[in-house]
């Protein structure tokens, strides 16, 4: 079979999906409930895609070799892949995708003799039945169709992977969450208690959310990112809480070209109620970048600007936030109370 870049991508995509189907079937029957296996949310398991690619190469190299050679080669290939994937998922994402600890002859729960034998059998099934069918399929599909399929699967996988990685990056233990909340509240409370900030709860900002909901959400998420990147948390919290400090319903009233002007209005209002550091001023002033043309000067400003865009986009895409946010109530009641069980992040 001709091996080119399209062929590599196509077989990887297709077998990632077929492998996912096989795993869903096996695990769902075993656990008597529908199970979506793997680290990613979508219908693919890249381990199977990678395994199929290596096997395609191995099958062509081992053509005409004695069966024992094939058994050994398939055993090494599949077991190495399985160990590598299990190890990497544990090491990078602290995720246990499968656990063979209860099986005899297992190594660290990642591999075991029984399943290695299953993989060898599956490799022979792949060589004898699946690969010939796959080759027929590839020959019947035009290159544009294959590229379309590859593009769809890879785009989905990439988005999926970024989301999973970010979630992992931002994940907090309950203890860490408690500490971060305390830190956040210490800085945020004096501002949130000011009537000029508390009154933002009277203004609708995005679908179903008040301006106070919005700035609190942006402050929390930006603060979390800031902590992960060792940035100035105080500047982030204060800048983010004040970044939309204006008092009009921007959809119905206020100055023309609100998007180009409200950061300056917010900055002017913020200066009236508190002393701002240079970093905090920049956060407020540049949060609408690129509309501000001049880019943010610090990483803290970049984070708040990006998180603001993310939260705003999410608000408009979300169908869940039509109800009044419970968070506003919690914030109004006092953000430091145990009532604020759930962060927005």
Q: Residues 285, 266: contact at Cβ < 8 Å?
A: no
Interaction of residue 234 with Fe ion, rule CB under 5 A: no
Interaction of residue 127 with Fe ion, rule CB under 5 A: no
Shortest reach from residue 159's CB to Fe ion, in Å = 24
Question: Of 315 and 336, which CB lies nearer to Fe ion in the complex structure?
Answer: 315
Point out which residues pair with 206 in neighbouring strands: 209
CA distance 43 to 21: 8
Shortest reach from residue 243's CB to Fe ion, in Å = 6
Interaction of residue 213 with Fe ion, rule CB under 5 A: no
Question: Of 250 and 343, which CB lies nearer to Fe ion in the complex structure?
Answer: 250
Token digits of residue 315: 């608000």
Question: Of 139 and 293, which CB lies nearer to Fe ion in the complex structure?
Answer: 293
CA distance 51 to 340: 47
Shortest reach from residue 309's CB to Fe ion, in Å = 8
How many other CB atoms are found less than 10 A from the CB of residue 259? 10
Question: Of 244 and 280, which CB lies nearer to Fe ion in the complex structure?
Answer: 244
DSSP reduced 3-state for 112:
strand
Q: Residues 263, 296: contact at Cβ < 8 Å?
A: no
Q: Residues 12, 48: contact at Cβ < 8 Å?
A: no
Shortest reach from residue 240's CB to Fe ion, in Å = 8
Question: Of 181 and 262, which CB lies nearer to Fe ion in the complex structure?
Answer: 262
Q: Which of residues 258-317 bind Fe ion (CB under 5 A)?
A: 308
Shortest reach from residue 189's CB to Fe ion, in Å = 21
CA distance 74 to 117: 10
Q: What is the 3-state secondary structure (H, E, C) of 126-140?
A: HHHHHHHHHHHHHHH
Span interacting with Fe ion, options 59-67, 74-82, 83-91, 244-252, rule CB under 5 A: 244-252
Q: Please give the size of the binding site for Fe ion, defined by CB under 5 A.
A: 2
CA distance 247 to 266: 9
Q: Are strands 209-210 and 106-107 parallel, antiparallel or unpaired?
A: unpaired
Interaction of residue 244 with Fe ion, rule CB under 5 A: yes
Shortest reach from residue 262's CB to Fe ion, in Å = 6
Contact set with Fe ion (CB under 5 A): 244, 308
């Amino acid at each position: 079979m001709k091996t080119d870049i399209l062929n590599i991508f196509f077989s990887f995509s297709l077998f990632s999906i077929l492998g996912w189907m096989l795993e869903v079937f096996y695990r769902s029957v075993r656990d008597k409930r529908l199970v979506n296996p793997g680290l990613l949310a979508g219908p693919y398991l890249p381990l199977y895609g990678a395994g199929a690619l290596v096997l395609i190469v191995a099958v062509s190299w081992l053509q005409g070799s004695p069966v024992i050679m094939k058994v050994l080669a398939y055993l090494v290939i599949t077991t190495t892949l399985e160990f590598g994937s299990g190890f990497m998922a544990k090491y990078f994402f602290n995720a246990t995708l499968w656990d063979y600890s209860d099986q005899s002859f297992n190594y660290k729960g990642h591999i075991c003799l029984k399943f290695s034998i299953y993989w060898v059998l599956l490799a022979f099934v792949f060589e004898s039945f699946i690969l010939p069918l796959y080759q027929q399929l590839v020959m019947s599909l035009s290159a544009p169709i294959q590229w379309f399929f590859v593009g769809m699967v890879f785009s989905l996988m990439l988005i999926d992977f970024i989301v999973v990685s970010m979630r992992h990056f931002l994940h907090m233990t309950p203890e860490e969450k408690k500490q971060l909340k305390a830190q956040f509240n210490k800085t945020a409370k004096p501002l949130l208690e000011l009537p000029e900030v508390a009154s933002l709860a009277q203004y609708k900002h995005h679908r179903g959310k008040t301006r106070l909901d919005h700035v609190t959400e942006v402050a929390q998420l930006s603060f979390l990112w800031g902590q992960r990147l060792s940035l100035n948390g105080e500047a982030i919290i204060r800048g983010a809480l004040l970044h939309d400090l204006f008092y009009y319903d921007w959809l119905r009233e206020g100055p023309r070209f609100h998007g180009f002007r409200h950061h300056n209005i917010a900055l002017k209002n913020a200066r009236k109620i508190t002393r701002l550091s240079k970093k905090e001023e920049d956060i407020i002033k540049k949060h609408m970048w690129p509309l501000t043309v001049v880019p943010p000067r610090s990483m803290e400003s970049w984070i708040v600007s990006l998180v603001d865009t993310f939260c705003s986009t999410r608000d408009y895409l979300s169908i869940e936030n039509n109800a009044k946010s419970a968070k506003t109530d919690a914030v109004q009641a006092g953000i430091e109370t145990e009532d604020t069980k759930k962060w927005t992040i």
